Amino acid sequence: MAQEPETTRSTESGLGVRPVYGPEALEGWDPAARLGEPGAYPFTRGIHPTMYTGRPWTMRQYAGFGTAAESNARYRQLIAHGGHGLSVAFDLPTQMGHDSDAPEARGEVGKVGVAVDSVEDMRVLFDGIPLDRVSTSMTINAPAALLLLMYQIVAEEQGVPADRLTGTVQNDVLKEYIARGTYIFPPAPTLRLTSDIFRYCHTAIPRWNTISISGYHMAEAGASPAQEIAFTLTNGIEYVRTAVAAGMDVDDFAPRLSFFFVARTTLLEEIAKFRAARRIWAGVMRDRFGARNPRSLMLRFHTQTAGVQLTAQQPELNLVRVTVQALAAVLGGTQSLHTNSYDEAIALPTDKAARLALRTQQVLAHETDVTATVDPFAGSYAVESLTDDLEQAVLDLMTRIDDLGGAVSAIERGFQKAEIERNAYRIARETDDGDRVVVGVNRFRLDEEEPYEPLRVDPAIEARQCERLAALRADRDRRAVDGALARLREAASGTSENVLPPMKEALRARATVGEVCGALREVWGSHVPDESF
């Protein structure tokens, strides 16, 4: 009898990969318990019975740069080219709760996303875009409530009732403490603000996804697939705990929870990762929180291809990388997908590159057979074995976080951040040593790169945005703004009142992002990280 081949390679999570998989890999494996049926617990095979055989995933393209008017023009182009939904990128000052004319904003206005200082910018951003027919995702966290309320105000001005709005606000600040850094307030008031958004949307904007619990940014910082899932799901557990502790029934908000993951070029492990994540979350919601609504058990997620794997060298190779990554997301059962543009390692995407990224999804959806059958990898010896291995690795990490007292306690001790940094160092060392091949970077290089003309943001945008702010402040009713901000501070000082209604009042009076966040800083303070772990 032939001896079983030894493991010769490892996954991105450090798990062994066999050269050959056969029936012995799934010996004693129970398909009914581990797989189930598509659209049924434990949702390993997908959250819908028909998946893409009924209709393809939502094709979102993440965009936003410069002024609201420039971003609006890009959104209109994406819709005209067949995009199903918009995904808004905000600049760093907006993400950090600063106005464009604040000293902290200098040099950053409009650079990595669109500058939104007030409801007037939001009006321009969505001018001519019917908000009752477009699903909008907003990548915003600490000031998520502000941007969501501005969106609602603009929709009301369009005559669109809030119960017809669909989309997602990221609203996941815990991962900011771990991997990204665009936090404002300490964890306790931040979690209160998150649960206030849950409560507000449950009655006011019922079709809105109130949070997109994100592993993507942790992956971009260097997290392995197992770390990405474990840290994301433990953050999700913390949000559910907070909402339940605030008096909400789990089945009132859990169906509107959503997740956000990366798709790397390691196709098989990524497919297994998505399947394992669905299975774990279904068990957590059923067994830990007693959720009864089947929709509360579904892990619904958006995927973005891995920006960290794009290279400035031979950028056209990124078209291949993005295609493989997108295929991994689709075969893993994503609900929506953003494909990165091939030139994003150099600068903001050009119009042509953004269009090609969308066309990549359209080719997968309409020219391949991946939408012809549900979960084509079900029963694969390799994928099912990798799914089990990943599930166990994720559960082990989740247990370690539980032992530290949960996600917030672990964040305050720097646990997740330290684990990600160790993994990022390992990846960098393997790349530098040539053990990890990056085509065009440490293998198969060109002696001379071809010239490329990137899209650049006009530095005069900052001055123009500051002029808009000065005009807004001169034109509005200052007493109305001050009164609304005072009511917001009063609500934030207590513990029982939802802060979103007075926040909406302030924004409608044309208070700025910086003024609203400043009022909350006065009450809640700012977060200072502990680097002692």
199: in domain: yes
Residue 525's CB: how many other CB atoms inside 10 A?
12
Residue 24's CB: how many other CB atoms inside 10 A?
10
Q: Which amino acid, 479?
A: R
Q: Where are the beta strands (DSSP E) in 30-187?
A: 58-63, 85-89, 135-139, 167-169
Pairing relationship of beta strands 211-214 and 58-63 according to DSSP bridges: unpaired
Give the model's pLDDT for residue 63: 78
* Domains of the chain: total: 1
d(CA 437, CA 433): 9
H or E stretch at 337:
strand 336-338
When mean pLDDT is compared across 81-95, 116-130, 316-330, 395-409, the lowest value belongs to 81-95
Q: What is the CATH number of the domain that holds 295?
A: 3.20.20.240
CB distance 162 to 175 below 8 Å: no
Query: Within 13 Å, how many C-alpha atoms sit on residue 47's CB side?
Result: 21
Give the model's pLDDT for residue 148: 98
Residue 31's CB: how many other CB atoms inside 10 A?
12
d(CA 67, CA 462): 9
When mean pLDDT is compared across 75-89, 148-162, 195-209, 414-428, the lowest value belongs to 75-89
Whether residue 5 is predicted with pLDDT greater than 60 in this model: the reply is no
Over residues 278-288, the mean pLDDT reads 98
Q: Average pLDDT, whole number, for the chain?
A: 94
How buried is 160 (Cβ within 10 angstroms: 0-12 exposed, 13-18 middle, 19+ buried)? Answer: middle
428: in domain: yes
Model confidence pLDDT, tens digit, residues 195-211: 999 999 999 999 999 99
Over residues 325-337, the mean pLDDT reads 97
Residue 263's CB: how many other CB atoms inside 10 A?
32
**Radius of gyration in angstroms for the set of CA atoms belonging to the chain, rounded to a whole number:** 23
- Using alpha carbons, select from 168, 165, 169 the residue that is nearest to residue 133: 165
Q: Which two tokens stand for residue 64?
A: 């936003």
pLDDT > 90: percent of the chain: 88
d(CA 297, CA 290): 10
Model confidence pLDDT, tens digit, residues 353-391: 989 999 999 999 999 999 999 999 999 999 999 999 999
- Using alpha carbons, select from 208, 171, 209 the residue that is nearest to residue 192: 171
Query: Within 13 Å, how many C-alpha atoms sit on residue 244's CB side?
Result: 14
42: cis peptide before it, omega within 30°? yes
Helix H segments across 284-380? 317-331, 351-367
511: in domain: no
| Helix (H/G/I), strand (E/B), else coil: 211 | strand
Whether residue 456 is predicted with pLDDT greater than 90 in this model: the reply is no
Whether residue 1 is predicted with pLDDT greater than 70 in this model: the reply is no
- Per-residue confidence band for 448, with pLDDT thresholds at 50, 70 and 90: confident
132: in domain: no
d(CA 466, CA 100): 6
457: in domain: no
Q: Give per-residue burial for 484-510: e unless 16+ CB within 10 Å, then b.
A: bbebbbebbeeeeebbbebbbbbbbbb
Helix H segments across 159-224? 174-175, 187-204, 216-220
Q: Which amino acid, 386?
A: L
Model confidence pLDDT, tens digit, residues 220-258: 999 999 999 999 999 999 999 999 999 999 999 999 999
106: in domain: no
Give the model's pLDDT for residue 4: 52
Q: Which two tokens stand for residue 214?
A: 């994100």
414: in domain: yes
Residue 371's CB: how many other CB atoms inside 10 A?
18
CB distance 298 to 47 below 8 Å: yes
Domain that holds residue 359: 16-56+169-433
Give the model's pLDDT for residue 6: 60
Over residues 506-532, the mean pLDDT reads 92
Whether residue 455 is predicted with pLDDT greater than 80 in this model: the reply is no
Any idea what DSSP says for residue 348? Answer: B
- Per-residue confidence band for 2, with pLDDT thresholds at 50, 70 and 90: very low
Model confidence pLDDT, tens digit, residues 105-135: 999 999 989 999 999 999 999 999 999 999 9
288: in domain: yes
More confident site: 128 or 458 = 128
